[in-house]
């Protein structure tokens, strides 16, 4: 088995891209295609969870 060695900075860049924190998706379809799903939470304190997630990730 080969080991993968990453610097902390490289691991951080990978996670930022994986979570779409560097740049928002242009539309909801792109965000859903990237993530595969968005969890819909029934708790509505400050807003519906899927709305809050997509608002942060879509331009």
Report the number of secondary-structure helices (H) and strands (E) in the chain.
3, 0
| Structural domain contains residue 1 | no
pLDDT tier at 55, thresholds 50, 70, 90: confident
| Structural domain contains residue 42 | yes
| Structural domain contains residue 47 | yes
| Structural domain contains residue 3 | no
Task: Write out the DSSP string of 14-42.
Answer: HHHHHTT-SS-BSSHHHHHHHHS-----S
> What residues make up the domain containing 14?
8-57
> How many domains does the chain contain in total?
1
* Intra-chain end-to-end CA distance of the chain, in Å: 41
pLDDT digits (tens, 9 = 90+) for 10-40: 999 999 999 888 888 999 899 999 999 887 7
- pTM of the full predicted structure? 0.53
pLDDT tier at 41, thresholds 50, 70, 90: low
């Amino acid at each position: 088995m080969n080991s993968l060695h990453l610097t902390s900075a490289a691991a951080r860049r990978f996670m930022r891209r994986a979570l779409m924190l560097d740049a928002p998706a242009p539309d909801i379809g792109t965000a859903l295609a990237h993530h595969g799903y968005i969890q819909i939470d029934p708790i509505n304190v400050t807003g519906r969870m899927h709305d809050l997630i997509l608002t942060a990730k879509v331009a």
